[in-house]
Structure 1
Amino acid sequence: MFFSLTLFLYERGKLLPGLRARVRRAATPIFFAATLLIFGCTFVVGTTVAGTVLWAVGIASTPILDVAPTAQKLTYAFVTAALLVAVLRMRDLIGPRMFMSFLLGRYHKPRREERVFLFLDLIGSTRFAEERGDLEAMLYLGHAFEVLARPVELYRGSIDDYVGDMALVTWRMGPDLKDAAPIRCLFTFLDQVERDAGEWRRRFGEAPRFRAALHCGPVMTGEVGVDRHKITYFGDVINTTSRLESLAKALGEPVVVSAELLARLGQLPEGVTATNLGRHSLRGRGEALEVVGLRRSIGED
């Protein structure tokens, strides 16, 4: 119980969150070794605490439990921990929600569902690369997507893909959209970047700026590939969201959302204001789409 609870708190980011974040960013061999070491230390701490509790209440005669390291115990512990670490790394590489979908075979056969899509684009990445080089640009971009991961996890989204300097995040329509989760996710991320602007400038010479577009609609979701499996989406809503992001650039708006999605999300998070930008024709779409711009209210943190 003590061992499992400690591991659970660690994996949920409630125990030693800074250490967990650094280990997850490490290369796979380092991640593997470090996580095995952490699991080993957790086992020692867990058995020590458990033994002390049992000794204190008079059940055990000594505060040290009988965990003598026999060859059989060590082999069992190492193999079990190695399998667990491999599963955790796989989950991190493809995303926790995607991992569960693969594990449960949810999309082995394509299914029709409604989803929200967020296209998040880093502004000025080409200029940044020309001025500072591709390596620095890659580190800059990687750090931005690293910051994005926490709000996406917090608000029950899933990062579907990274394409150049753009991230594609998605949510299933339903309980995952409670309290306008996609909007909260986006502004939580933007607020975090703004709070860390000084650190960004010290590290990279400038703080990043982003442009975002959100839309919703029906898609076909299914697994594709043989050597490399991927859960992918097919539907007009993805193309429309991409063109909304281009429209945001043309209008000079940092965040645009379709009025259709906004109506389905309900009340906006506190401090976020909406401005109707009218109806706009998008390439490849017959009917004009009503678009809304979102911004933080002046004076909000």
Structure 2
Amino acid sequence: MLTAKVRRDWYRIIPFGIIWLLTAAISLLIEWIAYGGTFPSSDTMISPDTDILIFALLSMLGLGLFVGYVELNHLNKLFIRQSFFRKSVYKFLIYFVFIHLVVLVTYPIAASMETDTTVLDPHVWSRLWQYLNSLIHLSTALQLGVAITLSIVYAQVSEVIGHTTLLNYLTGTYHHPREEHRIFLFVDMRSSTTIAESLGHECYFDLLRTYYADLAEAVIRHRGEIYLYVGDEMIISWKLSDGLQDNTCLRCYFAMQHDLRERAHWYREHYGVAPDFKAGLHYGSVTTGEIGVVKKHIMFSGDVLNATARMQSLCNTVGVDLLVSAPLIALLPPNEAFHPQSIGCKELRGKTEELELYTVTQCTPVPQL
């Protein structure tokens, strides 16, 4: 079975393939309509029969998937500190040059298919040279430019608001509010004020960015959704069934803790301090829907968020790193790797009823996903 990270990567890459496939299909359809239900013919234009059309569309799909892979795994990391405009220009130039190199390979193949010869035939390469100096080449370059631009825009928007959130907007999943049962994990950096004062705002911001990036890997591996970053606090959510399955929400917490402690030496070398965090874990009903006028946001609204925030703030008071609500403990499947221990019923600030809370320790190492 595919891991959660591999599935997530595929879900993010596939839209790139769809963008390139649709761009190619629309371009061919416009050309076909413009010429009265046929394709233009010239010395440089390859007359597309069924096989060539399928080859062309599959090639564009493959190119789109490849662009998506390169975008998410290489270029996005390479230009992470660049502004939106510079990042977009650099990416466009790299993709545009690369795609033209691909054209130099695919055109001779398509030409050989049309003439039923091999790619080594001199006539094939003569046609390639004529094509590179024709208006048809200019039209193809324009089509590629549109596909590249759409891919970059999709990648940038997805990066800013999140892939899942973007798909929810596009599909209208939460256009009409709906009730959901969700698990929430509130993660808060310990001694953040002291760290910020000792490092200064600029250096602390750099630490915070690295800290969030390190924690995000475990969230991705455990199918969590990062709902919000609030200062030094991170809010993670699962649909109830996803978070309960195989104790995923608990596993995520301990994986985040493990990953951060593995990097403790690096943090001390670069910042002189190794960040740590405390967390609250709870579940409940929320109303989920789009909200906002000037800026849209998919919002969770429910008492569970306030309760989880209060639980997380109690960690310092009771001297533990993690607090889990009794209702969630009751739903989690038994697992010998985790040992829950009740710390009694506690009154949460702003609540009239007390809530029994547990702290959970990891008895045996859980394999990292």
Alpha-carbon distance, 1:289 to partner: 1.4
Identical-pair percentage: 28
CA distance in 1, matches of 2:85, 2:176: 34
Alpha-carbon distance, 1:134 to partner: 0.9
* Structure with greater strand share of residues: 1
Alpha-carbon distance, 1:209 to partner: 0.6
Aligned equivalent of 2:234:
167
* Structure with greater helix share of residues: 2
Alpha-carbon distance, 1:44 to partner: 5.1
CA distance in 2, matches of 1:42, 1:229: 36
CA distance in 1, matches of 2:101, 2:251: 38
Aligned equivalent of 1:285:
351
Deviates more, 1:179-188 or 1:4-13: 4-13
Aligned equivalent of 2:65:
8
Q: Which amino acid aligns with 2:286?
A: V
Q: Secondary structure at the match of 2:251?
A: helix
Aligned-residue RMSD, C-alpha? 3.1
Alpha-carbon distance, 1:212 to partner: 0.8
Q: Which amino acid aligns with 1:62?
A: V
CA distance in 1, matches of 2:90, 2:78: 10
CA distance in 1, matches of 2:225, 2:187: 13
Aligned equivalent of 1:275:
341
Q: Are the aligned partners of 1:3 and 1:46 in contact in 2 as well (CA < 8 Å)? A: no
Q: After superposition, where does 1:70-109 map in structure 2 within 5 Å?
A: 70-109=137-176
The yes-or-no answer on 1:295 pairing with 2:361 is yes
The yes-or-no answer on 1:193 pairing with 2:260 is yes
Q: Are the aligned partners of 1:218 and 1:237 in contact in 2 as well (CA < 8 Å)? A: yes
Q: Are the aligned partners of 1:51 and 1:60 in contact in 2 as well (CA < 8 Å)? A: no
Q: Secondary structure at the match of 2:351?
A: coil
Q: Are the aligned partners of 2:268 and 2:274 in contact in 1 as well (CA < 8 Å)? A: yes
Q: Secondary structure at the match of 1:286?
A: coil
Q: Secondary structure at the match of 2:92?
A: helix
Aligned length: 299
Q: Secondary structure at the match of 1:190?
A: helix
CA distance in 2, matches of 1:54, 1:74: 17
Aligned equivalent of 1:17:
73
Q: After superposition, where does 1:1-301 map in structure 2 within 5 Å?
A: 1=58, 4-5=61-62, 7-8=64-65, 11=68, 17=73, 19-24=75-80, 26-40=82-96, 43=99, 61-62=118-119, 68=132, 70-175=137-242, 177-268=244-335, 271-297=337-363
Q: Secondary structure at the match of 1:83?
A: helix
**1:237-262 Cα deviation digits (max 9, x unpaired):** 01100100011121111111112123
CA distance in 2, matches of 1:151, 1:203: 22
Q: Are the aligned partners of 1:3 and 1:42 in contact in 2 as well (CA < 8 Å)? A: no
Q: Are the aligned partners of 1:253 and 1:293 in contact in 2 as well (CA < 8 Å)? A: yes
